Amino acid sequence: MLTFEQFLRDLTAKGGTINLMFEERLFGLVEILHRVADMFTSERIPYELIGGMAVAVQMEQVDRDAVMLTRDVDIMIHRADLERVKESATRHGFHYRHTAGLDMLLYGEEKKAGKGVHLVFSGESVKANQEPNPLIAPEQILVYGKGVSVVPVADLVRMKLNAWRDKDRVHVRAMDEVGLITPEVEGNLSPELRSRLHHVRETE
């Protein structure tokens, strides 16, 4: 696993520039992601990284300079595995918390929900008018030296267009600008979601 200090040394050796606040925040999220990924892997609990962190990981595969900072780590699991997750959490330094309708894992003594791992359940709609998001076949992507199960781009784009919040439209535009939304990805969208994609391209 690449540490923040190693990253800084490598970048300095290459003569690159760095935004310390951005990189330090990103590495903090990566550290939590690595810890929770280790937990799910060792306990053999299916999961996939979704949300803004998944956008960052997928974008980094093609253009690291375009990566945007996100606030937290979102993980999709099966609802049936929640009790196993709660039990496993304590063995891996996490504790489970449910507040304001959110299920999350907090590491160590952390109490702030904004710094937790937010759990989303496959096959369940976040809002009544949204399509359910299934956990099907995540990709294994090397994230700073550690393999992580990440939602494939096509499913990620569909999730973002389905959620349709301001930040989701920003994520869609960013993925489109780096070429992640290919004609194949677009062609597999429903007519409604394809219309939303066109709206993002034309107006934002």
pLDDT tens digits, residue range 155-181?
999 999 999 999 999 999 999 999 999
Q: What is the pLDDT of residue 12?
A: 64
185 and 95 share one domain = no
pLDDT at position 9 over 80:
no
How many domains, in total, are found in the chain? 2
pTM: 0.86
Q: What is the pLDDT of residue 20?
A: 46
pLDDT at position 100 over 70:
yes
pLDDT digits (tens, 9 = 90+) for 19-76: 545 566 777 889 999 999 999 999 999 999 999 999 999 999 999 888 888 888 999 9
198 and 177 share one domain = yes
117 and 97 share one domain = yes
163 and 117 share one domain = no
> Which DSSP string corresponds to 56-98?
HHHHHTT-GGG----S-EEEEE-GGGHHHHHHHHHHTTEEEEE
Residue 6 pLDDT level (bands cut at 50, 70, 90): low
CATH of the domain at 135: 3.30.460
Residue whose tokens read 């099907």: 136
Q: What is the pLDDT of residue 90?
A: 95
pLDDT digits (tens, 9 = 90+) for 45-57: 999 999 999 999 9
108 and 163 share one domain = no
Averaged confidence pLDDT in the chain: 87
Q: What is the pLDDT of residue 141?
A: 95
170 and 130 share one domain = no
pLDDT at position 8 over 80:
no
71 and 21 share one domain = yes
141 and 161 share one domain = no
Contact 164, 196 (CB under 8 A): yes
Contact 171, 55 (CB under 8 A): yes
Q: What is the pLDDT of residue 138?
A: 85
pLDDT digits (tens, 9 = 90+) for 117-137: 999 999 886 555 566 676 767
75 and 171 share one domain = no
113 and 170 share one domain = no
187 and 171 share one domain = yes
Contact 107, 63 (CB under 8 A): no
Range of the domain at 95: 4-151
77 and 161 share one domain = no
